[in-house]
Amino acid sequence: MAVWRAYRLRLRRRAFLLRAWRKRGEVRAVTDRTGEIGSNAILAFVTVRNEAVRLPYFLQHYRKLGVNHFLIVDNASTDGTLVLLQGQADVSVWQTSGGYKASRFGLDWLTGLMRRHGAGHWCLTLDADELLVYPHWETRPLRALTEHLEDQGRDSFGAMMLDMYPKGPLAAQRYAAGQDPLEVLPWFDSGNHVVQVQPKMRNLWIQGGVRARVFFGVEPRRAPTLNKVPLVHWRKGYAYVNSTHAILPARLNAVFDEMGGEVLSGILLHTKFLPEVVEKSAEERQRREHFANSALYDAYYANLITSPDLWSPASCRYDGWRQLEALGLMSRGGWV
Amino acid sequence: MSVGFVMLCHTALDRAAEVARHWAERDCPVVIHVDARVKAPAYDGLVRALGDLGNVRFSGRYACEWGTWGIVAATQEASSVMLKAFPEVRHVYLASGSCLPLRPVEELVAYLDSRPRVDFIESVTTQDVGWTVGGLNVERFTLRFPFSWRKHRALFDGYVRLQRRVGFRRRVPSGLVPHLGSQWWCLTRRTLSAILDNPERGEIDRYFRKVWIPDESYFQTMVRKFSTSVESRSLTLSKFDYQGKPHIFYDDHLQLLRRSDCFVARKMWPQADKLYDTFLLGKGAGQVAAEPNPGKIDRLFSKAVERRTKGRTGLYMQSRFPNKQWGHGRTAAPYSVFEGFSEVFENFEAWLGKVAGTRAHGHLFAPDRVEFAGGETVFSGALSDSAALRDYAPKNFLSNLIWNTRGERQCFQFGPNDVQDCSEMLAGDPNAQISVISGAWSIPLFHSNQNFGDIRREAARLQKIESDHLAILRSHNAKARIRIWTLAEFVENPMEPLQSIVDEISPRSLRRLTEAPTLTDLKGFGQFLQNLRNQGMQPVLMGDFPAGETVPTALRRGRPYLVK
């Protein structure tokens, strides 16, 4: 039975790889600087669409963490994203006008790139609205983290998305490109997450946070998935299944301890709720490219368009990684 | 000059060179061993980098795979070079390429000068070691280990099992008592030369070649044979995680390392610029000459082991998700569940919050919404009062609530009208204090103005639900602190149970309850039960209420009588 299950997962993984290979023609290299990638480089893979506002701080944050090269697929941006990226010395850019949903939310494009450029490297797979923090991140760059993970015999690292939001109506905030988004979005829900393990791939399924509280109080099952495995010591045959929520081979999903202990983990500070979200939601609602079953999320977008206030008196104000660890949202495990 | 350093290096040779230069320039001879697996250009670079220093030597190279003889052979060879080339050296300090001196060399020299005959080496008998990981203590000396632990773990483990089963034992050479300890020592010329020049060394080395992790036992054992004065501790600060791997020190450990007062520490992260700058460029000087005291930072590291292996009880999150066997369903702190109390007493929640000084919620599992204390819609940790969110994952809801409010005891009401999904978790949670007045759900029915046929049906339904719930509480799996009274028992003498519950909630207050909650009016309740019986329903959970108008003594008063 276990063998059969493993075989089916293997088939599934191969299908993802095949799919990525078939779609390799959809992305066209615009600026290819991958020749500069050193043998020990830490890479970041990103799909973007109209993220000119977020990208300056995004790049700054990950450069500070020690990402050596960014490999970015631009999905038909119209806001100058492409020009911005082409001007960065450590960024290689591909362009595509293919459908985001049809390419498994960008994963088909990235899987192909990762197979070509990621093998042997520690690879981050990110969205432009995700800022990774982990225990000691200000004093220990990603290199220290990945070396520690290797020492521990681990080749994947889990980081849950934490939805950050402002106090007051979303559209009433001001954000300028290059600014730290947390200055505008310092609030989060600290203790309303729901954790379960999905038996098929032994991956976690975490839901909750402010989006579940405000938008999915009637249908909690539809609340967005928050668990991610964004950092992986990549090898050729690997493939993400559903965003970076789950990955194959399934052993890479084992980023948690089942015997009561705590494993080192991080947090992806999710800056989705910058003021532009209101405008973008109107567009997403039309495009229907973000959820597998988009019609079910109409109410969600409709609500977002009204620029709601997500803040509550029980909201928590961000105060650094030690706070996130004390709250039990992430853990340093044995890494002191 | 009295101390020379033997350095075993295999990576980050540039850092090793900095440290070697630091010592050599301060008149301490250095002998460097570089792992044979390091490639020639890197090795040549190191030799060149230190070429200008007259008191640095390189010794013959061995491959040093972890846990094998190579490390001991390398140490022996490098030590021999040290003793021969630098006759003025009295203490030899064994260090690695990732060691960093934390205190000025002069302080170490002075320290050793005042203890000229002392060998500093951690050396503990196999019975007394507590740190070996994997259970191999004395067996390190009595079994054979031909397979690599790193590369062929299954073969390694299998061969150990096989030898145990057939009862194989190697003979320990006579005169040796196996000892274990940290690899990093500081020995006197007298002891070290006695070990190296020992006429029986050939035989002993042959034996130790096949001992598991000989670098933690060879010198530790031999020193017991030759030393006159063993100080069983390492002068090198080194911390190990739960798997026995050394902790790495980063820039943020600067203050910690300073406070340790140790002479040398390992292992440093090669890119820890601040550490190397601070301690090598002399910015660390000017401390008082204190005894090395690694104990100061032990607490932090033992806490780390605990965090990694045991975690925080009651926390369920992305990297801690214990399965059933390992305590799934346990919450973070004690809490109290009251069943039937808000029916028996008027304004019970307000009274409880006041008397016990806790957060007293209403029915958290009410079908329409979560009744948080004070009618909050979003509670601690941003828990929503949406019943749908709660019922999506009731166990998560409860463990989140208790986790979010650590340090403040939570109390809530529960009853057969509530969503019952969490019954088993409540009963199985040692943190739960569950107090039940069975049958109390009938009181609102008694007071209600519905048609008696509806009341009868509702009573039958609630009685069924509560019976099932009580069966769970009474099952052998229940680990909660559970007390159950029938309604009749309870109203007979309500103060004693209340007192003992409140004492348990706030044991420090230890005061008599001076203000009792008001009992609800039960006049005619016995007749009500009789009417139910007459309608064919059998109310069993309330206990024995006399039919007719006689009411138990305590019930005649509004408030129970208090004995002060």
pLDDT at A41: 97
Tokens at B510, concatenated: 């230890």
Q: Determine whether the interchain pair B384/A192 forms a contact, defined as Cβ–Cβ distance below 8 Å.
A: yes
Q: Determine whether the interchain pair A144/B269 forms a contact, defined as Cβ–Cβ distance below 8 Å.
A: yes
pLDDT band for position A144 (50/70/90)? very high
pLDDT tens sequence across A38-63: 999 999 999 999 999 999 999 999 99
pLDDT band for position B23 (50/70/90)? very high
The arithmetic mean of pLDDT across residues A142-154, rounded, is: 96
CB pairs under 8 A between A and B: 177
Which of the pair, A174 or B551, is modelled with greater confidence?
A174
Q: Determine whether the interchain pair A189/B307 forms a contact, defined as Cβ–Cβ distance below 8 Å.
A: no
pLDDT at A140: 97
DSSP string, A34-93: GGG--TT-EEEEEEESS-TTTHHHHHHHHHHHT--EEEEEEES--SSHHHHHHT-TTEEE
State phi, psi for B304 to the nearest 5 degrees: -65, -40
Query: Tokens 């009637």 correspond to what residue?
Result: A218
Q: Determine whether the interchain pair B321/A139 forms a contact, defined as Cβ–Cβ distance below 8 Å.
A: no
Alpha-carbon distance of B276 to B98, in angstroms, equals 11
Distance of CA B438 to the CA centre of its chain: 40
State phi, psi for B496 to the nearest 5 degrees: -65, -50
pLDDT tens sequence across B58-102: 999 999 988 889 999 999 999 999 999 999 999 999 999 999 999
B421 touches chain A (CB under 8 A): no
- Which of B76, B82, B96 minimizes the C-alpha distance to B8? B96
Residues of A in contact with B376 (CB under 8 A): 314
Which of the pair, A5 or A268, is modelled with greater confidence?
A268
Cα B415–B421–B427 angle (5° rounding)?
70
The answer to whether B383 touches B397, Cβ cutoff 8 Å, is yes
Reported ipTM: 0.94
- Which of B140, B160, B164, B13 minimizes the C-alpha distance to B67? B140
Burial B307-335 (b: 16+ CB within 10 A, else e): bbbbbbebbbbbbbbbeeeebbbbbbebb
The arithmetic mean of pLDDT across residues B271-283, rounded, is: 88
pLDDT at B11: 92
Residues of B in contact with A218 (CB under 8 A): 386, 388
Beta strand ranges found along B410-469 (DSSP E): 410-414, 432-438
pLDDT tens sequence across B192-207: 999 999 999 999 999 9
3-state secondary structure of A304: helix
Residues of B in contact with A195 (CB under 8 A): 316-318, 321, 396
The answer to whether A264 touches A290, Cβ cutoff 8 Å, is no
B281: pLDDT strictly greater than 90: no
The answer to whether A189 touches A213, Cβ cutoff 8 Å, is yes
> Which of B300, B303, B382 is opposite residue A315, by nearest beta carbon?
B382
Q: How many CB atoms lie within 10 A of CB B549?
A: 9
Angle between helix axes A2-22 and A107-117 (nearest 10 degrees) is 90
pLDDT band for position B432 (50/70/90)? very high
pLDDT at B131: 62
pLDDT tens sequence across A106-122: 999 999 999 999 999 99
pLDDT at B555: 47
The arithmetic mean of pLDDT across residues B446-459, rounded, is: 93
Who contacts B153 (Cβ-Cβ below 8 Å, separation ≥6)? none
pLDDT at B557: 46
pLDDT tens sequence across B125-161: 887 776 665 567 788 888 888 888 878 889 988 998 9
**Domain ranges for chain A:** 2-326
pLDDT at B564: 41
Distance of CA A188 to the CA centre of its chain: 17
Sheet of strand A130-133, all strands in order from the earlier edge strand to the far edge: A130-133, A266-270, A159-163
Alpha-carbon distance of B393 to B372, in angstroms, equals 17
